[in-house]
Amino acid sequence: MNTINHLTNTHRGPHPGFVAIAYTLLFNAGLYQVVSFTGGPHFPGPWESNEAITTYFQSYPNTVLICSFLQFGAAIPLGILTVTMVSRLQFLGVRAAGPSIALFGGLMTTFNMAATAFILWVMAYPGIAQDPAVLRALYYLGFSFGGVGFSVPLGLLIAGVCVPAAFFKLLPKWLVAFGLVVAGIGELSVLSLVIPQALFLIPLTRFPGFIWLIAAGFTLPSSPRPAQRISEGSA
């Protein structure tokens, strides 16, 4: 009987902490393909010249192809993480808009990541990089999906979890505060669409976001606390 009660009171599904780790590893494995820590060839930023952008994709199509493969792979665990955390919040009794906002933000981030990966795949396809006009159009489209299209909805995912978690005391206060700061930066990153100097807000959302998702995945309880069970039982 105790075993049955334990299973009934425990959320069943993938462990969000391990799924968050899988997402982080795949994403950074893809990023590793196109960055350089020694000043070598690297994925060009939107502030670089058209010639630099064109030359990179003409010279390193295989690297871009591997990056697109891993980035698409990373989108899958992020989607699973999103629906798992939303499901867990609802299981824990959250009946507010927060989980729906988190679901919208997480799935939008996932779809935008997949779109970025597909655009990169097209850019790596033979012959595409030889047409500078088409290449540049695809580049800026991919950057918008993977830049602001990533950071803004990721902020919604984090905020959608943090706010109800704060009210229901499901996450430590420091993690809630950290998440709200990251979410706020993510929303502010939309300014980079009109103020290029604000581009730094995108990685300032992305990389702390990895830490928050992993920490929240391991911290969010899988079953109601004893006090919450008593409250639900007496209702």
- pLDDT tens string 170-200: 999 999 999 999 999 999 999 999 998 999 9
Stated pTM of the model: 0.87
Q: Are 89 and 101 in contact (CB under 8 A)?
A: no
What does the alpha-carbon distance between residue 225 and residue 169 come to, in Å, rounded to a whole number? 10
Q: What is the dihedral of CA 217, 219, 225, 229, to 10 degrees?
A: -10
The half-sphere exposure of 151 on its side-chain side, counting CA atoms within 13 A, is 27
- Report how far residue 81's alpha carbon sits from residue 88's, in angstroms, rounded to the nearest whole number: 10
Query: What's the pLDDT tens digit per position in 191-230?
Result: 999 998 999 999 999 999 999 999 999 999 988 865 444 3
**pLDDT at position 220, please?**
92
- Every domain of the chain and the residues it spans: 13-37+46-223
For 17-73, give the DSSP string. Answer: HHHHHHHHHHHHHHHHHH--SSS-S-PPPTTS-HHHHHHHHHH-HHHHHHHHHHHHH
Average per-residue pLDDT for the chain: 88
- Which two structure tokens, joined as six digits, stand for 207? 């990389």
Residue carrying the six token digits 């780790």: 21
Neighbours of 72 (CB within 10 A): 19
Which pLDDT tens digit goes with each residue over 140-167?
999 999 999 999 999 999 999 999 999 9
In the chain, the largest separation of any two C-alpha atoms, in whole Å, equals 70
Label residue 4 by pLDDT band (50, 70, 90): very low
Write the Ramachandran bin of 93: left for phi over 0, alpha for psi from -120 to 50, otherwise beta: left
Tokens coding 155: 């902020």
Beta-carbon-side half-sphere exposure of residue 195 (alpha carbons within 13 Å): 9
